Amino acid sequence: MSEDGRNEAAAAVNAADRTEDVRKTRGIRFSESEWEEVKRAAAAHEKPAAEFVRERILAFARAPESGERGPVAGSMAPLIERMFRYTWFLATERREAMLREGRGDELDALVAEARAFQESLRRDAVD
């Protein structure tokens, strides 16, 4: 087979692959405020809004029927991270103060309670 023949055959295979799962424009309506929210979330993930929407919808659609949802909405992820950092900082500061005040036993009890609660959340997530 000539090189031109090989190129034509490869092009035909590639064209067939593309026609099976070609993306097409679909209509979906957003209010201006909703679209602004989508754009902010997409920007936080450094993605174009259309790509962000497509990924999130597909993640939700592919989630198991158990009621689980896909990833946390993009607009919430930075907030959750910020809250975690603030909580860690405040807890660390409070821990140091309790140790200086000689309240180590009380601190140990609080840590044990928090770990027990954390384990109960893990068990509930598995069930």
- Domain residue ranges in the chain: 29-73, 77-126
pLDDT of residue 11: 57
pLDDT per residue as tens, the chain (127 positions) = 555 555 565 555 555 555 577 888 888 888 898 899 989 988 988 999 999 888 888 888 887 654 555 555 566 778 888 888 899 889 899 999 999 999 999 999 998 998 999 888 888 776 6
pLDDT of residue 9: 54
pLDDT of residue 76: 77
Kindly compute the dihedral angle of the four CA atoms of residues 96, 98, 104, 110, in this order, to the nearest 10 degrees. -100
Prediction pTM value: 0.38
> Exposed e or buried b for every residue in 70-107, given b needs 16+ CB within 10 A?
eeeebeeeeeeeeeeeeeeeeeeeeeeebeeeeeeeeb
> Do 31 and 64 meet the contact criterion of CB atoms below 8 Å apart?
no
CA-based Rg of the chain, rounded to a whole angstrom? 26
Which residues does 69 contact at the CB level (< 8 Å), separation at least 6?
60, 63
Q: At what angle do helices 49-61 and 32-44 cross, to 10 degrees?
A: 90
Q: How far is CA 126 from the centre of its chain?
A: 19
Helix, strand, coil percent content, the chain, rounded in steps of 5: 70, 0, 30
Kindly compute the dihedral angle of the four CA atoms of residues 36, 37, 42, 46, in this order, to the nearest 10 degrees. 80
